[in-house]
Amino acid sequence: MTRAEFADLLTRFNERPLPATAARHVYIWQTSIEDLSSMVPAQLISTLNLHDLCRKLVNTPNTADAARQVILDALDAWLSHEFPHDDRQRLLVVLGCDLMARYRVPIGHFMRLSNESRMVVFLIPGGDSRFKPSKPLPSYIYVQPEATLAYFKPQLAEDAVIGERSQ
């Protein structure tokens, strides 16, 4: 989907409940949150920063499976207690998606949340996918700049990716 098409979708979504044209109203946004915020009224947006959410956690898991479960529990709590449950249209912007990719946190919570009145946008800055180190890294460091995007893309509809590459 192009940015113009997504902007049109956001305008219509802001006005009334809107059935999803694909499987769900779950999207990947590849530019900045400022670009996204400029397209919709501020009262429509709720933000979940996974890095901030994890900083508040008491437990420090020592395995990837344990980390995944701690993140899922924190997501459950946040979505139950912090995310507004009124009748207004809502756009949830999820920041820190690299944690979901790193610990293989499933997107099921967000898929269940999305409907005609709830849209979820995973923010994956395009610069993350094009990262190039300024100096050569040691051979024991393996950089995968596309890892976050590669984790999300197979789980979403084909036209759910919006941003720099879909102009």
Ordered by where they begin, the domains of the chain are: 3-126+139-166 (3.40.50)
Q: Residue 63 is encoded by which pair of tokens?
A: 């395995």
* pTM over 0.85, yes/no: yes
The residue with greater pLDDT, 140 or 71, is 71
Tell me what the mean pLDDT of segment 38-64 comes to.
91
The pLDDT tens digits of the residues spanning 62-74 come to: 999 999 999 999 9
Buried b (16+ CB within 10 A) or exposed e, 82-100: eeeeeeebbbbbbbbbbbb
* pLDDT, mean of residues 111-127: 90
Distance CA 25, CA 118 (A): 7
Q: Is 75 helix (H, G, I), strand (E, B) or coil?
A: helix
**pLDDT given for residue 68 in this prediction:** 95
